[in-house]
Amino acid sequence: MWTSWHDIWGSGRGPAARLAPQSRILAGTIVFAACLTAPALSAPGVALIAATTAAWVAACGLPVRTARSFALLGLAMFLPYFLLLPLLVKGPSVTSPGTGWAGALAAPWDILLHGMAGVLVAGATISTLTGSDLRSGLLALPVPRVFTAILVQIIHQTSALLAETKRVAAAIAVRGASGSGRAALRALTSLPRVWLPRIVDRADRLAAAMEFRGYAEADLRVFGQRAVGAADAGVIALAVAVMALAAALRWRWL
Amino acid sequence: MNVAPALTFDRVTVRYERGTAPVLEDVTFSLAAGERAALVGLNGSGKTTLLMAAVGLVGHEGEIRVCGTPVGRRTAAEVREKVGFLFNVPEDQLLFPRVIEDAAFGVLRRGVERKEAYSRAAAALDGLGVGKLAEWPLHHLSHGQKQRVALAGALVTAPPLLLLDEPSASLDPPGKQALARLLGGLSTAMLIATHDLEFAARIGRRFIALDGGRVIYDGEDPGAIKRTWAMD
């Protein structure tokens, strides 16, 4: 059901995926900020968040299967906040003027709506970028070079780390720590102890290879960059307009 | 004209920590330009450490020279320009998302223009039979394919010395055979760390055997090494 981490990158086939990489990153970041800024407790705010998220997901061409996976991830992350309702309904509401159940619902709803929008917008933006796009896009933006080099490498190495984690978990299970209850808990708690030395060892070897190949000193711009066109400027202007509208709704300028 | 040896080790000792037992002890040998030798030894004998020391990735006592340049902190970059290195686990040295980018990196960072660098990388990948994978993302490759891509990245700069750490590990028999044929066809000097004597014998005639960090044999008889491993 869950799509592999690496296959999400560059899987988007929408018009936004054809912009220059730096424009995709910038527009995605602004849309993300707009969704978090718009108020979730007013009808215009909810409409703006929903419409912006849907429009960005469609523009990025996020595959339906991946979108569903991100939505499930968001629900798993943010629905548990509704479990706090019995506590919130008894105490004074700090997030909204309402009282009783309406007031108690405000906080989890706020978190759910902003969280779901954030996850979907981030996922859609990621889907427009391959690893190479991310590198060239970040290099074209005013981001510290060292940050770009490290971030790109972290993302590049994630699949190897995930594979390593799966192997460690399988080895623990095979050696008798599978099952349920106490055995499963023991397996879970022993995972970091087994996992960490392996990851440190791998990081050591990776550092040696990076040093030998001169990765840290290299100017990664040697791989080339794409120029920004009129379409890029248009999309960024639209994203800025949405951000301005979100800010106006949040601080009641309208 | 007198050509400097591709690699010389003169009484080299390596310790990972001061005061601890050496991992390599008093190692001396020389590899002529264009010469191929296998560095053989059981697990933990010091093969990988020796290769790492040769490019300045671990500190050493004694003298190591690569194509006449002494290996030290200040000369590390110059030395590494002359060496193609294949790490034991190919995933460790593949640093870029696409095959062609990784293979081209070595030449790009030497200032070669992008089009030319990509064309050289494509030729290196072609030569290793993985040219059609040039645009693939690296995480879609098999272990053997990753190893070839890593080797292409090492060969693309046409270095005078190749250091290969267990290149045949995890390869199936046809893969080993193909790799041996390929390495055997190169004219560059190479030192191949392996414990696979049959694979080593397909590539070169010289065997340098390590045991407990010391050179215990340097010659052309694999039988002598088998005897020390008590295989005969």
Angle at A142 between CA A139 and CA A146, to 5 degrees: 60
Q: Which residue type does B93 have? A: Q
pTM: predicted TM-score of the whole model, two decimal places: 0.79
Contact A31, A121 (CB under 8 A): yes
Instruction: Closest CB to A223: pick one of B52, B85, B101.
Output: B101
Q: Is B29 on the interface with A (CB under 8 A)?
A: no
H, E, C per residue of A169-232: HHHHHHHHHCCCCHHHHHHHHHHHHHHHHHHHHHHHHHHHHHHHHCCCCCCHHHHCCCCCCHHH
Contact B91, B151 (CB under 8 A): no
Instruction: Closest CB to B95: pick one of A205, A213, A219.
Output: A213
Q: Considering only CA atoms, which of B203, B167, B150 is closest in space to residue B48? A: B167
Q: Where are the beta strands (DSSP E) in chain B?
A: 7-14, 24-31, 36-40, 61-66, 69-70, 83-86, 161-165, 189-194, 206-211, 214-219
Query: What distance in Å separates the CA atoms of residue A25 and residue A33, rounded to the nearest whole number?
Result: 12
What is the SS3 assignment for B29? Answer: strand
> How many Cα atoms within 13 Å fall on the side-chain side of residue A153?
19
Report the sign of the C-alpha dihedral through residues B65, B71, B75, B79, in that order.
Answer: positive
Q: Which residues of A touch B (CB under 8 A)?
A: 6, 10, 130-132, 135, 152-153, 156, 159-160, 202, 205-206, 208-215, 217-219, 222-224
Q: In chain B, what residues touch A156 (CB-CB under 8 Å)? A: 95-97, 138
DSSP state of B38: E
Per-residue pLDDT of A122-172, as tens digits, reads 999 999 998 889 988 998 999 888 888 888 888 888 877 777 777 777 777
Instruction: Closest CB to A211: pick one of B57, B89, B108.
Output: B57
Given a cut of 50, is residue A85 above it in pLDDT?
yes
Strand B214-219 relative to strand B206-211: parallel, antiparallel, unpaired? antiparallel
- B83, closest residue in chain A (CA to CA): A212
Q: Considering only CA atoms, which of A186, A239, A237 is closest in space to residue A34? A: A239
What ipTM score was computed for the predicted complex, to two decimals?
0.84
Q: Considering only CA atoms, which of A64, A47, A48, A66 is closest in space to residue A8? A: A66
Strand B189-194 relative to strand B161-165: parallel, antiparallel, unpaired? parallel
Spell out the per-residue pLDDT of chain B, length 232, in tens. Answer: 578 999 999 999 999 888 889 999 999 999 999 999 999 998 889 999 999 999 999 999 999 999 999 999 999 999 999 999 999 888 889 988 899 999 999 999 888 999 999 999 999 999 888 999 999 988 888 888 998 999 999 999 999 999 999 988 877 888 888 888 888 888 899 999 998 888 999 988 899 999 999 999 999 988 888 887 775 5
pLDDT of res. A1 = 44
Per-residue pLDDT of A200-212, as tens digits, reads 888 888 889 988 9
Domains belonging to chain B, first-starting first, are 1-82+198-232 (3.40.50.300)
Query: What distance in Å separates the CA atoms of residue A215 and residue A95, rounded to the nearest whole number?
Result: 48
Q: In chain B, what residues touch A131 (CB-CB under 8 Å)? A: 96-98, 137
Q: Is B92 on the interface with A (CB under 8 A)?
A: yes
Q: What DSSP assignment string belongs to A13-55?
A: -SGGGGS-HHHHHHHHHHHHHHHHHS-SSSHHHHHHHHHHHHH
Given a cut of 70, is residue A191 above it in pLDDT?
yes
Given a cut of 80, is residue A83 above it in pLDDT?
yes
Q: Is B220 on the interface with A (CB under 8 A)?
A: no
User: Which is more confidently placed, B196 or A46?
Assistant: A46
Q: In chain B, what residues touch A152 (CB-CB under 8 Å)? A: 97
Contact criterion met (CB < 8 Å) for B95 and A224: no
Beginning with the edge strand found earlier in the chain, give each strand of the sheet holding B24-31 in spatial order: B24-31, B7-14, B61-66, B69-70
pLDDT of res. B119 = 95
Q: In chain A, what residues touch B96 (CB-CB under 8 Å)? A: 131-132, 156
Q: Considering only CA atoms, which of A224, A240, A41, A27 is closest in space to residue A132? A: A224
Q: Is B214 on the interface with A (CB under 8 A)?
A: no
Query: What distance in Å separates the CA atoms of residue B168 and residue A139, rounded to the nearest whole number?
Result: 38
pLDDT of res. A254 = 56
Bridge partner residues of B194 (DSSP): B40
* A241-250 core/surface letters (b: 16 or more CB in 10 A; e: else): ebbebbeebe
Phi, psi for residue B2 in degrees, rounded to 5 = -90, 115
Residue B205, classified by CB atoms within 10 Å of its CB into exposed (0-12), middle (13-18) or buried (19+), is middle
Query: What distance in Å separates the CA atoms of residue A182 and residue A195, rounded to the nearest whole number?
Result: 20
pLDDT of res. A61 = 95
Max mean pLDDT among A45-49, A173-177, A221-225 falls in A45-49
pLDDT of res. A24 = 96
For residue A51, name the pLDDT band (cuts at 50, 70, 90).
very high
Q: In chain B, what residues touch A160 (CB-CB under 8 Å)? A: 91
Mutate to test the interface with A, among B49, B108, B151 (most CBs of A within 10 A): B108
Angle at A63 between CA A57 and CA A67, to 5 degrees: 60
For residue A118, name the pLDDT band (cuts at 50, 70, 90).
very high
Given a cut of 60, is residue A92 above it in pLDDT?
no
Q: In chain A, what residues touch B77 (CB-CB under 8 Å)? A: 214
Q: Which residue type does A21 have? A: P
pLDDT of res. A3 = 61
Query: What distance in Å separates the CA atoms of residue B192 and residue B205, rounded to the nearest whole number?
Result: 12
What percent of chain A is modeled with pLDDT above 70? 89
